Amino acid sequence: MKALVKRGPGEGIDYTDVPAPEPGRHDVLVRVLRTGICGTDLHILKGTPWATRTVTAPRVIGHEFVGEIVAAGAGVGGLLPGQLVSAEGHVTCDTCANCRAGRQHLCDVVQGLGVQRDGAFAEYVAVPARSVWVHRPGVPLDVAAMFDAFGNAVHVADTFPVRDRTVLVTGAGPIGAMAAAVARHRGACLVAVSDVSPFRLDLAHRAGADLVIDAGEGTVDPAALGLEQGFDIGFEMSGNPSALSDLIGAMAHGGRIAALGLPDEDVPTDWADISLRMLTIQGISGRRVFDTWYAMADLLDQGMDPSFVITDHFPAEDYEKAFATAAEGHAGKVILDWVPRD
């Protein structure tokens, strides 16, 4: 089969022929239809220090996907050929203390699809049945392909209650924009989004943000926005150290921050200020398994449409153009097609 493979340390990936996977007793084999390019995939392409120390190469990469089950192992029950599925990209062990206590999102020995085990940027992928999500009828393929990323946004937005609260989102990439849309859907009374990219600020507009703020023109000033105090809730989605500092400074006393962005450098932090204003900072990674997936499906059933973040589609063989588009900062979510569109 054709697949995108990381051969080893350094920059680059290859579109090449590899053996099709054989599903194990408790696995399903999925024919991949579409995949979404994620920031993790860009790190792997570039061969960043994180990718070099984390990816076990050679490795078929990719974790955002939708496809059809074509075969199931002998030990799999309840999953059938033809079902439209995605999978939780964090493959948990189900035996550590966190997994056994129902906190799989905190698994001690989690493996990443496309990182420590072969992923979905391929014509076929084998995944553990326990990681499979069966989509409800009517979910568009493009939306299903990015359920993993949508889940990041929903996990962040649902960390703290946002109804009737003011929310500031720093970073208006696809996940940040979707998190803003979820906060709006959940009943936040004010949603503000900051970024330095005009394209991404427009994406925030499409998300339904009440205010978009050009962070390149200075720090966020709650008083200038008509807030007597600061913001109640913050979502840090950018990974920019200055954005996190600005977000902390813009919070009201007792404010709560959900932080998904991963800074590449140290973030200077005034911990005395955080203590004195009694701020809460909650780190976020991935999705709650499978609570967040049910929340995503319910949001779609309620009429929320996250497809506004999808801006580009490419055939899988045009992966170089697709990755370049995703990296340049003038695109939202980029989708790779592994079978031709009708």
Tell me, yes or no, whether 112 and 184 share the same domain. Answer: no
Tell me, yes or no, whether 15 and 130 share the same domain. Answer: yes
CATH code where residue 222 lies: 3.40.50.720
165-193 CB burial, b ≥16 within 10 A, e <16:
bbbbbbbbbbbbbbbbbbbbbbebebbbb
Tell me, yes or no, whether 208 and 127 share the same domain. Answer: no
Tell me, yes or no, whether 159 and 259 share the same domain. Answer: yes
pLDDT at 224: 85
Tell me, yes or no, whether 15 and 51 share the same domain. Answer: yes
112: in domain: yes
294: in domain: no
Tell me, yes or no, whether 267 and 225 share the same domain. Answer: yes
Tell me, yes or no, whether 23 and 52 share the same domain. Answer: yes
Tell me, yes or no, whether 311 and 256 share the same domain. Answer: no
179: in domain: yes
Domain of 103, in residue numbers: 2-145+305-337
Q: What is the mean pLDDT of the chain?
A: 95
List pLDDT tens digits, range 172-225.
999 999 999 999 999 999 999 999 999 999 999 999 999 999 998 888 889 888
- Contacts (Cβ under 8 Å, ≥6 apart) of 53: none
Between β-strands 14-17 and 27-36, what pairing exists: parallel, antiparallel or unpaired? Answer: unpaired
d(CA 266, CA 14): 33
pLDDT at 342: 78
In the chain, the number of structural domains is 2
290: in domain: no
Tell me, yes or no, whether 271 and 158 share the same domain. Answer: yes
pLDDT at 167 over 90: yes
* pLDDT range class, residue 64, cuts 50, 70, 90: very high
Sign of CA dihedral 49, 54, 58, 61: negative
| Active site annotation includes 90 | no
| Active site annotation includes 48 | no
Find the catalytic residue in 16, 26, 35, 40: 40
* pLDDT range class, residue 246, cuts 50, 70, 90: very high
Tell me, yes or no, whether 138 and 159 share the same domain. Answer: no
141: in domain: yes
Question: Using omega within 30 degrees of 0 as the cis cutoff, is the peptide bond preceding 147 cis?
Answer: no
Tell me, yes or no, whether 141 and 13 share the same domain. Answer: yes
Find the catalytic residue in 35, 43, 90, 105: 43
pLDDT, greater one: 255 or 263: 255
pLDDT at 13: 97
How distant, in Å, are the alpha carbons of 71, 173, 176, 331 from that of 309?
32, 8, 10, 8
List pLDDT tens digits, range 267-313.
888 899 999 999 999 999 999 999 999 999 999 999 999 999 999 99
**Number of separate helices (H) and strands (E) present in the chain:** 11, 18
20: in domain: yes
Tell me, yes or no, whether 7 and 133 share the same domain. Answer: yes
List pLDDT tens digits, range 231-245.
999 999 998 888 999
pLDDT at 219: 82
296: in domain: no
Return the closest-CA partner of residue 55 out of 126, 148, 117, 124: 117
Mean pLDDT, range 34-57, rounded to an integer: 93
291: in domain: no
Mean pLDDT, range 144-173, rounded to an integer: 97
CATH code where residue 59 lies: 3.90.180.10
Coil, strand, or helix at residue 250? coil
